[in-house]
Amino acid sequence: MSGLIFHLIAHTHWDREWHLPRATFHARLVPMLDDLIERLQADAGFRTFLLDGQTVLLEDYLGVRPERENDLRALVKTGRLQVGPWYVLADELIPSGESLIRNLLLGTADAERLGGRLDVLYSPDAFGHPAVLPTLAREFGLKYGVLWRGLGGEPGQERDFFRWRGPDGRDILLWHLPPDGYEIGAGLPGAGARLPDIWTQVRATLVQRAAGKHIPLFIGADHHAPHPTLARLRDLLADLEPASSFRILDVAGRAWHARAAQAAARASGAVVGAPGGAARGAGPAGRKPRSAACPRHRVAHAGPLAISRHDRGMYRGRRLVRGRASPHPSGRVRR
Ligand SMILES: [Zn+2]
């Protein structure tokens, strides 16, 4: 396949809820974000950075760097730093549906306070997904999604891009990360003789699943600093493959989704697939999603999402959410 358009997406997320103690993560998070803000400000070629779906990192950061709020606002407002829509990257099958709703309410409120939300249901590191996820996304005005493990193997899920329909019939356009997940481009060096070989392997993985000519290339990993020379990497890849185009993701992730959706529809006649059930299949490298065997989760996630517009208004104010002293998406109780 030639004439491809690769979208380089620099990103990281922080498995803050479970991977390491908060203080340990905090000591790494603050210098990482210091450096990221300065690089985005200094280098216009480093166009955007995706802060993998969670806003709690910025809350942590501003707790010790309140003087950087205006810098963050400027980057979020212009789409150069893409934040939300979640507050935390929760497991999607263990907490209740109510927690997932509150998670999105808090994340949306945080992101909008800083200048705007990423309008993509981005959940890169969950171990499985409830059947109502498309419905939940549409309740929050999200038409697009990016997921990884827990999907795959069902009819209609063969390509990287398909529609996932919820029980109420509404769907989202989903980009399904490749088997190597969001780390697929993490090993691409910004210089050196190894780049052509590494790119050949990465490219083959991406292209064999591509539903259209727009192909995202995620470059980053969990709790990592940004790629040191993203613009240089883009130029080197363009030299290696002059028949294709290489772009650093533009200011709105949803714009890429919309273009990719149109291209996929043209390429295949229709955007394919409509998996109806919860996605809990064995993930990459045979990892079994947590809670996959627990049927009560199917029930737990179906009911609370029948939330009316009136009810949704009740939760809109962040203070009100906190005032209810109910289980927080991360498992803590907030007051
Ligand atoms: Zn992770």
Q: What is the DSSP secondary-structure string of 48-109?
A: -EE-TEESHHHHHHHHH-GGGHHHHHHHHHTTSEE--EESS---SSSS-HHHHHHHHHHHHH
The domain spanning residue 21 has which CATH number?
Answer: 3.20.110.10
Residue 290: its pLDDT value, please? 39
Q: What is the pTM of this model?
A: 0.79
- Tell me, in angstroms, the distance from the centre of ligand 1 to residue 182's CA: 9
Q: How far apart are CA 147 and CA 218, in angstroms?
A: 12
What's the pLDDT at 147? 92
Tell me how many domains the chain contains.
Answer: 1
Q: What is the dihedral of CA 294, 298, 303, 304, to 10 degrees?
A: 70
Residue 150, amino acid: G
Task: Give yes or no for a contact between 94 and 290, defined as CB atoms under 8 angstroms apart.
Answer: yes
Distance 262 CA to ligand 1 centre (A): 30
How many angstroms separate the CA atoms of 203 and 198, rounded?
A: 9
**Which residues have CB under 8 Å from 153's CB, separation 6+?**
281, 282
- Residue 255's pLDDT is 61
State residue 330's pLDDT score. Answer: 45
Residue 52 forms part of a structural domain: no
Q: Tell me the CA–centroid distance for residue 18 and ligand 1, in Å.
A: 9
Residue 217 is classified by DSSP as E
What's the confidence (pLDDT) of residue 18?
A: 79
Ligand 1 centroid, distance to 241 Cα (angstroms): 31
C-alpha 26 to ligand 1 mean position (Å) = 16
Structural tokens at position 115 = 């200048």
Q: Give residue 253's pLDDT.
A: 54
Inside any domain, residue 205:
yes
206 part of a folded domain: yes
Q: Cα of 51 to ligand 1 centre, how many Å?
A: 12
Instruction: Give residue 161's pLDDT.
Output: 85
Is the Cβ–Cβ distance between 125 and 92 less than 8 Å? Answer: no
Residue 112 inside a domain? The answer is no
Low-confidence spans in the chain with pLDDT less than 50:
267-276, 281-335
pLDDT at 74 (0 to 100): 96
Which residue from 246, 210, 248 is spatially nearest to 227, judged by alpha carbons?
248
Distances (CA, A) of 271 to 107, 147, 156, 161, 173: 29, 17, 9, 8, 8
Output the CA 242–ligand 1 centroid distance in Å.
Answer: 34
Residue 326 lies in a domain: no
Question: How far apart are the CA of 309 and the centre of ligand 1, in A?
Answer: 33
Domain range for residue 237? 5-45+118-313
